[in-house]
Amino acid sequence: MQSVHIASAYDEELKFLSKRIAAMGGHAERMVEQAVAALVNIDHGLAQKVIQDDLVLDEGQREIDDKAIIIIARRQPMATDLREIVGAIRISADIERVGDLGKNVAKRVASVDGRQPNSLFRGLEALANLALTQLKEVLDVYASRSVERIGFVRDRDDQIDAMYTSLFRELLTYMMEDPRNITPCTHLLFCAKNIERIGDHATNIAETIYYIVTGDQMPPDRPKGDKTDQIVLPGMVPAK
Amino acid sequence: MQSVHIASAYDEELKFLSKRIAAMGGHAERMVEQAVAALVNIDHGLAQKVIQDDLVLDEGQREIDDKAIIIIARRQPMATDLREIVGAIRISADIERVGDLGKNVAKRVASVDGRQPNSLFRGLEALANLALTQLKEVLDVYASRSVERIGFVRDRDDQIDAMYTSLFRELLTYMMEDPRNITPCTHLLFCAKNIERIGDHATNIAETIYYIVTGDQMPPDRPKGDKTDQIVLPGMVPAK
């Protein structure tokens, strides 16, 4: 019975990592949702809440790192278990970074006055919804380890990139129409970029899950994301 | 003699990780230097070289990850050695990300025409020099494990943030003066942001080194970096 007891305590330790990551993931999703809501409604109180909430993820990542190292030292895991533990370290770093990106969006609420056209805010919301769906589904795959479902990741990553590119163009056009739009739209550009990056972290997480389950690197046909670095709009004369 | 032989082979494995990280660090520094040179001189060939060079860091990170896991599985390291190995995984991820940021700068060379004022390019160069000095010195601390020297990191991080903030303002002002500047200056804004992020990764690496050597987290008085999310310039009427 003794060895069963030990094995089961070990399983509990591994499950602790998975559960902690699921909780961190849920927290990061909420932060991003609320950051975008704060931006769209220019809600400074909600923005402040998101900024504070980021501490929880920093703490979560530290806890997972410490726990992972204790498990490795104590259990001396082999192969699959070791990948599981190292994977947890990587995934928690990606989730922590998603939280940072949400916080960055929240911090820009102070610099946007809400006088920009509705379509821009709707565009940001749509981009955030797509990125959050990606993150949620990737975290579902992590929970179930059903790595065969992972194909959706790259298709949706393409959609996120296409939507970001179109938003980038729209923001530039709007900046050119009236110089008073330049400052707020620059902040919205960075918000859009932050949201697009959430999709990249979801892809990183998918790659780590693939590695945990198979021991292999995901084949590198990942399409190259953000194409906005090639966008050049012609110089426009302001509307008046 | 056998155990000495085994211990020394183990030491060699740990040294392999350190050497590989030093090489990755040197490669990332060169990439960033060349990316900024390509931007300042609008050198498309050099930009292309930097973009290609990024593959070396992706490969390096994968090699360190694989090797680290093999070492953990085979040697079942305790305490310091385990921190050393987990630290190597983290540091190589930060260096890989520095390479990505260099690549991002290089990719924007295609969208900048070089007609922006010289002061902007000098500003970007100065920011890059400061970020690269930070990265180099942090990698020196890694090589020597002289963690008592790590105090410079936060002071210089403040300088990087101050320089980035001033460049951000200058770029916004320039965009407001003439709408033809909006597209190229937006790309330069993202370049500046990418370079500023290199400083953050240098700080991450410093924190990891501190953790490797002491087993503790670096005290969290790290000053909050990028303040540009609070910048609002008044709407300006174009110069003509």
User: A149-176, pLDDT tens digit by residue?
Assistant: 888 888 899 999 999 999 999 999 999 9
Read off the pLDDT band of A60 (50, 70, 90): very high
Sorted by where each starts, the structural domains of chain B and their CATH numbers stand as 2-230 (1.20.58.220)
The pLDDT of residue B224 = 52
Q: What is the mean pLDDT of residues B163-187?
A: 94
- Per-residue confidence band for B225, with pLDDT thresholds at 50, 70 and 90: low
Query: Which residues of A fall within a CB distance of 8 Å from B232?
Result: 111, 183-184
Amino acid identity at A65 = D
Question: Does residue B221 register a pLDDT over 60?
Answer: no
B167 near B120, Cβ under 8 Å? yes
Of A62, A78, A179, the CB nearest to B238: A179
How many residues are recorded in chain A? 240
Cα distance between residue A100 and residue B103, in whole Å: 22
Flag whether pLDDT at B51 surpasses 50.
yes
Residue A231 has pLDDT above 80, yes or no: no
Q: Is the pLDDT of residue A239 over 50?
A: no
In chain A, whose CA is at the least distance from the CA of B193? Answer: A190
Q: Is B189 on the interface with A (CB under 8 A)?
A: yes
Using the Cβ of A69 and the Cβ atoms of chain B, whether some distance falls under 8 Å is answered with: yes
At residue B149, the pLDDT reads 84
Site of tokens 């963690």: B147
Q: What's the mean pLDDT when you consider all of chain A?
A: 88
Residue B159 confidence class, pLDDT cut points 50, 70, 90: very high
Residue B228 vs residue A177, higher pLDDT: A177
Which is higher by pLDDT, B136 or A3? B136
Mean local confidence (pLDDT), A64-73? 88
Between A122 and A6, the more confident residue is A122
Given a cut of 50, whether residue B120 has pLDDT beyond it is yes
Decide if A111 and B180 are in contact by the 8 Å CB cutoff: no
ipTM of the shown complex: 0.83
Chain A hits for B107, CB-CB cut-off 8 Å, are 229-230
Residue B45 in contact with partner chain A when CB distance is under 8 A: no
CB of A22 within 8 Å of any CB in chain B?
no
Question: What pLDDT is attached to residue A223?
Answer: 46
A147 interface with B at CB cutoff 8 Å: no
Q: What is the mean pLDDT of residues A92-120?
A: 92
pLDDT tens track for A206-224: 999 999 999 887 776 544 5
Q: Which residues of B touch A80 (CB under 8 A)?
A: none
Say if the Cβ atoms of B93 and A93 lie within 8 Å: yes
The Cα of B14 is separated from the nearest Cα of chain A by a number of Å equal to 17
- pLDDT above 90 as % of chain A: 66
pLDDT score, position A81: 87
pLDDT of residue B223: 46
In this model, does residue B132 exceed pLDDT 60? yes
Residue A235, CA distances (Å) to A21, A177, B112, B170, B182 in order = 47, 10, 13, 19, 8
Q: How far is CA B134 from the centre of its chain?
A: 9
Query: How confident is the model at residue A235, as a pLDDT?
Result: 55
**For residue B2, is pLDDT > 50?**
no
Q: Closest approach of chain A CAs to the CA of B44, in angstroms?
A: 13
Does residue A110 carry a pLDDT above 70? yes
Please give, rounded to a whole number of angstroms, the shortest distance from the CA of A93 to a CA of chain B: 9
- Could you say which of A69, A82, A175 has the minimum Cβ distance to residue B182? A175
Which of A125-129, A232-236, B231-235 is predicted least confidently?
A232-236
pLDDT mean over B186-211: 95
Mean pLDDT computed over A123-151 = 93
- pLDDT of A6: 64
Phi, psi (degrees; rounded to nearest 5) at A22: -60, -45
CA separation, residue A158 to residues A169, A194, A210, B117 (Å): 17, 16, 19, 36
* CB spacing of B232 vs A111 below 8 angstroms: yes
- pLDDT at position B235 over 80: no
A84 — phi, psi (to 5°)? -55, -45
Range of B5-14, B147-156, B222-231 with top mean pLDDT = B147-156
Residue positions counted in chain B: 240
pLDDT for B238? 40
Closest-CA residue of B relative to A93 is: B90
Contact A229 B110 (CB under 8 A): yes
Q: Which residues of B touch A62 (CB under 8 A)?
A: 217
Nearest Cβ partner of A104 from B83, B182, B229? B229
Question: What pLDDT shows up at residue A108?
Answer: 96
Separation in Å, CA B230 to CA A182, A186, B164: 14, 12, 13
Distance CA B98, CA B106 (A): 13
Instruction: Decide if A78 touches B, using CB distance below 8 A.
Output: yes
Is any Cβ of chain B less than 8 angstroms from the Cβ of A191? no
What are the structure tokens assigned to A97, written together?
Answer: 């970074």
Is B73 in Cβ contact with A78 (below 8 Å)? yes
